[in-house]
Amino acid sequence: MLRKRWLLNLSLSLLLLCGCAEPKILDKLGLVTTGAYDLGKNGSILGTAVELSIKPNAANDIDILETHALTIKGNRIYGNKKASKRLVSGQLRVILYGEELLKQGKTNVAETLSSDPSISDMTFLAVVDGRARDLLQIQNKHIPDIGLHIFTLMEQNTQNKMMPPATIQEILRNKYTIGKEPTMPILRKEDSKDVLFSGVALFKGSKLVGKINTDQSFYLTLLTDKYKDGSKDVVINSESPKLKGRNQRLNKTVAALDSIRSSSKIKLINKDKPEFNIETKFTARLLEITSPIDVGKPSNIIFLEKEIEKSMEKEIEKLISFLQSKNSDVIGLGDIYRSSVRHSKLTDKKWYKMYKNAKVNVKVDFNILRTGLNE
């Protein structure tokens, strides 16, 4: 008797719990896949959302919804006032920010998003060169869903190490690590009908303080991550007679490398006046070189390795100098300093003062695996 009563009570409890769950019928929900935020009028935020259209006879695969509000969350509230379906963020994959909004540094974008349990912490974030809304307005018959196109573009470029990882999780981790700053990829509209990865945005806290191009972002990835199968055109800055007969089309020597594998070590060697050694080991296959040098000779291969090492060291030194001028430690030298010095009691404020004058010694060890074509 007691067992039957217990089973009856359990069944009633389960029924009540199921009855309390809010039903989510697909055709009554507006599935937002991509969001964009720009600086609006009088300090407001202009929000643009890509809503997936699930109507069988719809002319387009997506609907674009624009709103104005004083906060990012406010745009969601105002969006529901305009939408025919209740907007939900469970399918949100990418969030874009206009450059001017992030230059202000007053919007804690990642924190705002992470506080919403419906948004995955693996959602991609990116900066748009110009206004973010304009990127979502691209009209191209080959891109029926601009939100999905941007997501797959970012996904494959991140996997191939062309683009730095920039999920909500990654941004927050770097932002709250003392002695390290986050980065975001920069996207721009290309020929009014396409999307292009054009560089990397540098931050100091929540404020966008500088940008580097895709060539420089290659060297940044070289220092902060490992290449397993990358590719790169490297300009060889050399006055050697061996490279004097340069290709007339380019008027410079360029080496096309692929099958790139790399690893870097950063070591603090002086804690009183911060000084670091960066050692990068780098192997690749030489596919092409735009100078008439005989790559069949072992001595020429050794020569090219040394020249490429010197050229890459100069590029890395230029990059580090630029990062220091912006006081943006996206490499994480401060994090290495903090973990290397006991009881350093390092704070971001303290590190900013030290970082600008920190000395960084760069050494590249490059080996050509085998050669391909010669132009």
Query: For a pLDDT cut of 90, what percent of the chain falls above it?
Result: 57
Categorize the per-residue pLDDT at 230 as very low, low, confident or very high, splitting at 50, 70 and 90: confident
Distances (CA, A) of 64 to 52, 138, 339: 9, 11, 47
Q: Mean pLDDT, the chain, as a whole number?
A: 86
pLDDT of amino acid 11: 47
pLDDT of amino acid 32: 86
- Strand pairing category for 183-190 and 194-204: antiparallel
- Strand pairing category for 359-371 and 275-289: parallel
Of 71-80, 105-114, 190-199, 308-317, the range with the highest mean pLDDT is 308-317
Which residue from 195, 196, 168, 176 is spatially nearest to 184, judged by alpha carbons?
Answer: 168
Q: Does the structure show a pLDDT above 80 at 27?
A: no
Q: For 310-367, give the DSSP string.
A: HHHHHHHHHHHHHHHHTT---S-HHHHHHHHSTT----HHHHHHHHTT-EEEEEEEEE
Task: Indicate whether this model's pTM tops 0.75.
Answer: yes
Q: Which two tokens stand for residue 333?
A: 């030298």
pLDDT tens readout for residues 81-121: 777 777 777 788 999 999 999 988 766 667 777 777 778 88
Q: Does the structure show a pLDDT above 70 at 324?
A: yes
Which residue from 152, 156, 206, 160 is spatially nearest to 184, judged by alpha carbons?
Answer: 206
Distances (CA, A) of 163 to 18, 149, 183, 216: 44, 16, 10, 11
